[in-house]
Amino acid sequence: MAGSARVFEGTVEIVVRNARGDQVGTGWTTASVGAPERGDYATNISFALAGGRQNGTVEAFSRSAKDGSVQHLASVPVVLVPN
């Protein structure tokens, strides 16, 4: 996946969720620059599916430096296809 983000220290966390909303893959990457600038990022995220092709979501977000809570959540609907 690829995108751009304006996040603390450029750290972007990524979660892949299946049709039931279960987490089936996770990862993180670093944008080219951190806040207050907007930086580009690109990474591959592996995921494991039970069953065949299904709808899902990919979530990209950052965590608060203060308390670790999720910030700047972007959730994108996708079609997940097992290898």
For residue range 9-32, what is the model confidence (pLDDT) as tens digits?
889 999 999 999 999 999 999 999
The string of DSSP codes covering 36-69 is TS-EEEE-------SSSSEEEEEEEEEE-TTT--
For each of the domains in the chain, give its residue range(s) and CATH number, in order of start: 2-80 (2.60.40.2550)
51 pLDDT higher than 90? no
* Residue 50 predicted with pLDDT over 90: no
Q: Please state the pTM of the whole predicted model.
A: 0.89
Alpha carbon distance 83, 67 (integer Å)? 37
